[in-house]
Amino acid sequence: MPTSLRDRVERYLNDAFLDSEIPSRLSEAMRYSLLAGGKRIRPVLCLAFAAACAPGREEETVEAALPFAAGLEMIHTYSLIHDDLPAMDDDDLRRGKPTCHRAFDEATAILAGDALLTDAFAHMASAKVPAAALLEAVRLTAEASGAAGMAGGQMLDLEGEGRKLTLEELNVLNAKKTGALLRNACECGAVLAGADAARRDAARRYGADLGIAFQITDDILDVVGDEAVVGKEVRHDAEAEKATWPSLIGLEAARKEALRYCASAESALDGLFSGPEADFLRATARKLATRTF
Ligand code: GRG
């Protein structure tokens, strides 16, 4: 991951939610989870695609898209806070620290998630890109996060507990729960940079494949991962009797599927993207299949 992109996201997030208008307990809870050290993969992918779609004007495009990319991380962090709640996955550890509701309390964690999701849209809407592109990216992000996207995927996940899903059902669930926001991050990067239809479509296909691979590796890490490295509780899926890739097709086949989807993500870039950002996007897809955190 280009350190500069990740650093820029980190700096932006560090300055967020310090407004004295925010009740201090709420801003503390929001910043506690937001600044707990995530990989920042969604905002970095968004910025990398924005740069890759703007040859010759990479720097100004990244600067303009930064508030949008940071907003994606706020939405992602909200989803983790709510996912960890007792009514959902009931987790005690996230990003290597006690989950938000453990460090604060349940009501505060719910509000921190609500506020991160809502304020994310204010940050995204302040990106300095042409209005039509911004409106399209905001619409795409609302859809990817909402009822037919991530929130819908979470519903399918809850409904699927204790039930044996088919591979097809698992694919639909994952494409929504994990895939939608990742895919959206890539597509929005292209949209914000004013990409043509071919590049936008390639970004979308890369993001969709990467999203599936990301979930497969998450399932694999739940089986073989080390809690200290992964930063969250492991062996959780089996306990909750969740259908996962390893439980449906076995660990080795799941590893192969992750590699296959990562290779497919990489190939979506062929003939359309070149330069350091494209190299980074290819390397990210290659590394993802064997990630350990
Ligand atoms: C509560 C509406 C709502 C949705 C929750 C994101 C999500 C949906 C649930 C999280 C469950 C989960 C562990 C999904 C697997 C993939 C995933 C999103 C992993 C966490 O993302 P990373 O690895 O985390 O990017 P960091 O901490 O690096 O940001």
**Candidates 9, 10, 13, 80: which one to mutate for ligand 1, based on the most atoms within 8 Å of Cβ?**
80
167 close to 43: Cβ distance less than 8 angstroms: no
pLDDT: which is higher, 234 or 83: 83
Question: Ligand 1 center to residue 82 CA distance, Å?
Answer: 10
Longest Cα–Cα distance of the chain, Å, equals 52
Decide whether any atom of ligand 1 lies within 6 Å of the 150 Cβ.
Answer: yes
Query: Which atom of ligand 1 approaches the CA of 77 most closely?
Result: 29
Decide whether any atom of ligand 1 lies within 6 Å of the 95 Cβ.
Answer: yes
In sequence order, which residues have a C-beta less than 8 Å from that of residue 250 and are 6 or more positions away? none
Q: What is the pLDDT of residues 196-220, one digit of tens each?
A: 999 999 999 999 999 999 999 999 9
Decide whether any atom of ligand 1 lies within 6 Å of the 176 Cβ.
Answer: no
Decide whether any atom of ligand 1 lies within 6 Å of the 157 Cβ.
Answer: no
Decide whether any atom of ligand 1 lies within 6 Å of the 84 Cβ.
Answer: no
pLDDT of residue 3: 58
pLDDT band at 288 (very low <50, low <70, confident <90, very high): confident
Is the whole-model pTM more than 0.85?
yes
Q: How far apart are CA 33 and CA 172, in angstroms?
A: 28
Angle between helices 150-160 and 180-192 (to 10 degrees): 170
Decide whether any atom of ligand 1 lies within 6 Å of the 41 Cβ.
Answer: yes
For residues 253, 256, 260 and 261, what is the CA-based torsion angle, rounded to 10 degrees?
A: 70
Q: What is the pLDDT of residues 55-108, one digit of tens each?
A: 999 999 999 999 999 999 999 999 999 999 999 999 999 988 999 999 999 999
